Amino acid sequence: MSNQHSPVGILDSGIGGFSVVKQVQRLLPEETVLYFGDGAHIPYGNHPQEAIVNMARYMFRFMEEREVKALLVACNTISCVLDRCADVVSCPVFSAVQAGAEAAARLEAGKVGVISTVFTHNSRIYPQKIQERSPRKVVVLSCGCPDLARLVEHSLGDPAGMAEVEENLRQELDHMVLEDRVECCVLGCTHYPLVADSIHRLYPGLPLIDPAEEMARALKEYLRREGLGNPRTKPGGLTVHTTGSVVEYALRARQVGLERVTGVEYYPPMDIL
Ligand code: DGL
């Protein structure tokens, strides 16, 4: 049974969810955070739906066993299949897509761009949710990027890798930004905010919507409303669990600027064969 002192769970296929951890640490420093990144199976966005559901349920079970008091699904791709995973946990679940769509609708732009994994793009979940929430007619252009999440996962801090990321960004975004002239762009994959500086440099002045900020705000509001905020006055720690390389995750956590990392631990991956 979870209580005020229980951790907040955050999960993703890889290190993308670090963008959400960062916002949670900024807004709710007293909370203890438990992170799970399925480094062995990234990228999720190129897997079939059945595999994504099974891998997500595996991570949800991990969080349920550790009695998290709230679970942030810091993966847009998993957020697309949330109705097939949420029954695994007894705590409330926060969706990256829900957060991103709400933030985009609030901007009241006439033409919104969304970049995401191929799976999220094919689901049409973003156009649908943004249009449902927008008070006026809004055009939503969506672009699925098959390689970007994987490139970001392995390229942070490496100049050659980052050049590849920027080349890929141009390939995917030039048309949407320079020709279709979207007024803002939703970063519909949690890996993309980790390279927001590159996107700003390539497309100066283009407002970017990062669902992570909205997710952290929604979590804060929920904990306050339910009286579930951690009452301690000193900051809480962050434990990272990964089915991938512990060394790489520890390095990425430092590069992203995560604070109070109390441990980076290996967890065996689900067998998907
Ligand atoms: N970071 C994930 C998302 O937000 C997915 C990246 C991937 O595994 O394809 O969709």
Mean pLDDT value across residues 219-247:
97
Judging by beta carbons within 10 Å of its beta carbon (0-12, 13-18, 19+), is residue 269 exposed, middle or buried?
middle
pLDDT at 105: 92
For residue 31, what pLDDT band results from cuts at 50, 70 and 90?
Answer: very high
pLDDT of residue 254: 97
102 CB neighbour count, 10 Å cutoff: 18
Ligand 1 near 149 CB (within 6 A): yes
What pLDDT does residue 1 have? 81
Q: Reading across the β-sheet that carries 93-95, which strands appear in turn?
A: 93-95, 70-73, 8-12, 33-37, 238-242, 261-266
The rounded radius of gyration (Å) of the Cα atoms in the chain is 18
Q: Is 32 in the pocket of ligand 1 (CB under 6 A)?
A: no
Alpha carbons 142 and 175: distance in angstroms, whole number: 11
The span from the CA of 166 to the CA of 160, in Å, is: 10
The answer, yes or no, to whether residue 136 has pLDDT greater than 90, is: no
Q: Is 75 a catalytic residue?
A: yes
- d(C-alpha 15, C-alpha 98), whole Å: 20
Does residue 13 register a pLDDT over 80? yes
Average confidence (pLDDT) over 176-200: 98
Mean pLDDT of 206-227: 97
Q: Is 3 exposed, middle or buried (0-12, 13-18, 19+ CB in 10 A)?
A: exposed
Dihedral Cα 249, 254, 257, 258, nearest 10 deg: 60
Does ligand 1 have an atom closer than 6 angstroms to the CB of 127? no
pLDDT over 80 at 202, yes or no: yes
Catalytic one of 85, 143, 145, 189 = 189
**Mean pLDDT of the region 151-158:** 95
Ligand 1 pocket residue status of 242, Cβ below 6 Å: no
The candidate with the shortest Cα–Cα distance to 127, out of 140, 137, 110, is 140
Name the percent of the chain lying above pLDDT 70: 100
Instruction: Report whether pLDDT(265) > 80.
Output: yes
When pLDDT is averaged across residues 10-23 and rounded to a whole number, the result is 98
Convert the pLDDT of each residue in 88-128 to its tens digit: 999 999 999 999 999 999 987 999 999 999 999 999 999 99
Nearest to 145 by CA among 188, 195, 104, 183: 188
Taking the C-alpha atoms of residue 49 and residue 271, their distance in angstroms, rounded to an integer, is 16
Predicted TM-score of the model (pTM): 0.97
- Per-residue pLDDT, 273: 61
Count of alpha carbons within 13 Å of 58, Cβ hemisphere only? 21
Cα of 258 vs centre of ligand 1, distance in Å, is: 19
Count the neighbouring beta carbons within 10 Å of the beta carbon of residue 167. Answer: 11
Average pLDDT over residues 124-147: 94
Instruction: Kindly give the number of the ligand 1 atom that is closest to the alpha carbon of 41.
Output: 8
Could you confirm whether 189 is annotated as catalytic?
A: yes
Q: Is 193 in the pocket of ligand 1 (CB under 6 A)?
A: no
Instruction: Pick the closest to residue 218 from 79, 56, 92 (CA basis).
Output: 92
Pair of tokens at residue 124: 């049409």
Mean pLDDT (whole number) for 248-271: 97
| Residue from 38, 41, 152, 189 to probe ligand 1 pocket by mutation (most atoms less than 8 Å from CB) | 189
| Residue 194 contacts residue 152 (beta carbons within 8 Å) | yes
What mean pLDDT, rounded, does the chain reach?
96
Q: What pLDDT, on a 0 to 100 scale, did the predictor assign at position 272?
A: 75
